[in-house]
Amino acid sequence: MGEDPTLTAGPTVSPASPASPASPASPASAVSAVSDAFERRTGPAGAIGEDAERIVRACQDMAERFRAGGKLLVFGTGGSVADAQHVAVEFAHPVIVGKPALPALALTTDMAVATGIARTQGLDGVFAAQLRLLASPRDIALGLSAGGDCAGVRNGLAAARELGLLTVALTGGRDAAEADHVLAARSDDPLIVKEVHVTMYHVLWELVHVFHELEAVR
C-alpha cells in the first residue's frame, strides 16, 4: 500500500532569492562623514593653543626638575599604558638628533611588579606603590587618564604630591585629576581625547627641551 503523498511530502519551499547587497554609501555621504569626523577634532585640537600659558608653566617646571637631577615617571591605564611608554621613550631616547636624553620611566612596563602589587593592594594602588618605592622629591609624575576618573592614576598623583614630586595630569572628560599642572583635552569623546593627548605630550617634550637648553647656555 503506497504512502499518501499529502502526508509525506515536505512543505513547499520557494527558491531562495539572492540576498540584495547593501547599498553602498553615496560619495556625498562618505565625504560628509569624513568632514564631520575632522570637524569634531578641530575644536579640541585648537584648544591646545588656548592653553599655551598653562603648558608653558608646566614645561618650565618640568625643565627645572630635570636640571636638578630629577626623572620623569609616567603612568596610565588601558590605552594610556601605551601612551605612558611612548612619553618615556620620547624623553629617554629622542628621535631628533642632537636633543639630550632626559631620564624617564613608564610605570606600566613591568607586569611582574604591577600584578604583584595588584594582588595585595588592588589595581588602584599599582602606581602609588611604585612611586613610593622609586621616586624622589625632585622627580616629575605624569599621569594620563582619558576620562579623568581613573582611580589608579588619581591615587598615583596623590602619592606623588605627598612625596613632593611635581605632578602633571593629562586628562579629558568632565573629571580632572588633582595635580600641579592639569592639561585637559576639551572633549567627551575618549578617542579624540587620546588623540589630543598625543599632541600634548609631544608639545611637552619639545618645550621642555627648549627651556632645558635655554638654561644650559646661560
**108-155 per-position pLDDT tens digit:** 999 999 999 999 999 999 999 999 999 999 999 999 999 888 999 999
What is residue 198's predicted lDDT score, i.e. its pLDDT?
Answer: 93
Q: Give which of 91, 100, 96 is closest to 140, Cα–Cα.
A: 91
Residue 45 has pLDDT above 60, yes or no: yes
Cα gap 169→114, rounded to integer Å = 21
**Topology classification of domain 35-216:** Rossmann fold (3.40.50)
Cα gap 1→120, rounded to integer Å = 80
Grid cell, residue 159, equals 602619592
Stretch among 21-30, 86-95, 186-195 having the lowest mean pLDDT: 21-30
How far apart, in Å, are the Cα atoms of 43 and each of 36, 49, 147, 185, 197?
12, 11, 18, 10, 14
User: In the chain, what are the domain boundaries?
Assistant: 35-216
| CB 159, CB 152: distance < 8 Å | no
Cα gap 89→77, rounded to integer Å = 17
| CB 61, CB 141: distance < 8 Å | no
- The pTM for the full model equals 0.81
Rg for the chain, CA atoms, rounded: 26
| CA 169 to centroid of chain Cα atoms | 10
What is residue 25's predicted lDDT score, i.e. its pLDDT?
Answer: 62
Residue 12 has pLDDT above 80, yes or no: no
What is residue 5's predicted lDDT score, i.e. its pLDDT?
Answer: 44
**Tens-digit pLDDT profile for residues 56-104:** 999 999 999 999 999 999 999 999 999 999 999 999 999 888 899 999 9
Cα gap 151→169, rounded to integer Å = 13
